[in-house]
């Protein structure tokens, strides 16, 4: 009888814990989505309606705001989104590939300077990007690489934070025996990395590609210092340019629409890459 009471009590406690956890998750989800919902609502309202006050219901100016934003004469939104997508995509690919390659070298190979190399990369991770920004900008001006996407793309190869994440993930999912077996079968190192290691690392690569893409897409500081030609500007620069426009000509509906358009590529990239995360987790669960 006592065992049954204790069992019922334990079930009740577990149910209460679950209710509390689900309530917290629902509340956090609401906080994350409510601002995105308000962005969509505001993109359907005219400038006069936005100045009139808050509204939780959509209005009928979505198409007008889309036309005004897409055909704005002061900024070229399609070109800006294309520029941002090109830079962010290249950064995401280079960051994840070379970080995984570096992590593979540190994880698999045993050499004398292995620990100092790892500590050096970790030390670089502690340096804020703003510290080296002035010297980097001066170097780009001396090399005449302003109004060029290369300074925004090539440095993404060196990403200590991504390297650290890849190495930690590699230690948990990549036994050295797999690499040694491939070597015995005559496979070269790059073939092992590209055809064996990268497929195993898909979930980690997908996660870091999402983070790298978003970080590069939202990057304003360095591009604003290097890009001044209208046809080279990225989305964050154009959003700042809209915000600094003449207040008498300021169209809030157009600004909200532009911000919505700027978020959509990030959502698309997340939806595309998230399936690799789910597949990786599912495969790991099945193997376990």
> For 179-202, how does the pLDDT look when each residue is reduced to its tens digit (9 = 90+)?
888 888 888 888 888 888 888 888
Once rounded to an integer, what is the mean pLDDT over residues 122-133? 82
Average pLDDT over residues 109-125: 86
CB atoms within 10 A of CB 226: 20
Identify whether residues 40 and 91 lie together within a single domain: no
Task: Over range 92-116, report the average pLDDT.
Answer: 89
Q: Report which DSSP code applies to 176.
A: H
Top-confidence residue, 242 or 210: 210
State the pLDDT at residue 23: 94
Tell me whether residue 281 is exposed, middle or buried, using C-beta atoms within 10 angstroms of its C-beta: 0 to 12, 13 to 18, 19 or more: exposed
Residue-wise DSSP of 1-15: -HHHHHHHHHHHHHH
Mean local confidence (pLDDT), 133-159: 89
CB 198 within 8 A of CB 132: no
* Cα separation values, 179 from 32, 47, 105, 164, Å: 42, 61, 12, 20
Cα–Cα dist 91/97, whole Å: 10
Question: Are 222 and 152 a contacting pair, CB within 8 Å?
Answer: yes
Among 46, 63, 80, the domain boundary falls at: 63
Query: For residue 284, is pLDDT > 60?
Result: no
CATH of residue 205: 1.10.3720.10
Encoded tokens for 174? 């990549």
**How is residue 259 written in tokens?**
């911000």
Q: Are residues 30 and 74 in the same domain?
A: no
Lowest-confidence region among 109-123, 127-141, 163-177, 235-249: 235-249
- What is the predicted pLDDT for the residue at 62? 86
Range with the poorest average pLDDT among 24-33, 145-154, 272-281: 272-281
Same domain, 135 and 172: yes
Lowest mean pLDDT among 67-76, 104-113, 229-238: 67-76
| DSSP-derived secondary structure letter, 93 | H
What pLDDT was estimated at residue 245? Answer: 58
Report helix, strand or coil for 245.
coil
Q: What is the pLDDT of residues 7-65, one digit of tens each?
A: 777 788 888 889 999 999 999 988 888 888 888 888 888 878 877 777 778 888 888 88
**pTM given for the model:** 0.82
Domain housing 51: 2-63
Q: Please state the domain count of the chain.
A: 2
Residues 153, 227: one domain? yes
Q: Domain boundary residue among 63, 79, 94?
A: 63
């Amino acid at each position: 009888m006592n065992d049954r009471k204790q069992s019922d009590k334990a079930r009740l406690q577990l149910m209460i814990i679950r209710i509390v956890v689900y309530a917290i998750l629902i509340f956090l989800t609401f906080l994350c989505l409510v601002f995105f919902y308000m962005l969509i609502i505001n993109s359907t309202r005219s400038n006069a309606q936005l100045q009139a006050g808050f509204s939780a219901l959509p209005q009928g100016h979505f198409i007008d705001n889309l036309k005004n934003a897409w055909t704005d004469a002061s900024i070229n939104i399609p070109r800006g989104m294309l520029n941002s997508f090109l830079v962010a995509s290249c950064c995401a690919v280079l960051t994840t590939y070379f970080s995984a390659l570096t992590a593979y070298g540190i994880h698999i190979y045993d050499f004398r300077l292995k620990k100092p190399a790892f500590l050096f990369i970790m030390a670089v991770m502690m340096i804020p990007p703003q510290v080296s920004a002035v010297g980097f900008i001066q170097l780009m001006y001396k090399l005449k690489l302003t109004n060029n996407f290369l300074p925004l793309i090539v440095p993404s190869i060196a990403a200590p934070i991504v390297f650290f994440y890849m190495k930690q993930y590699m230690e948990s999912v990549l036994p050295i025996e797999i690499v040694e077996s491939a070597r015995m079968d005559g496979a070269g190192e790059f073939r092992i990395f590209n055809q064996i290691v990268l497929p195993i690392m898909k979930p980690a690569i997908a996660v870091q590609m999402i983070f790298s893409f978003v970080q590069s897409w939202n990057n304003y500081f360095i591009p604003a210092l290097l890009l001044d030609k209208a046809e080279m500007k990225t989305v964050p620069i154009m959003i700042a340019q809209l915000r600094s426009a003449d207040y008498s000509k300021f169209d809030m509906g157009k600004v909200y629409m532009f911000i919505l358009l700027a978020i959509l590529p990030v959502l698309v990239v997340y939806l595309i890459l998230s399936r690799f995360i789910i597949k990786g987790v599912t495969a790991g669960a099945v193997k376990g």
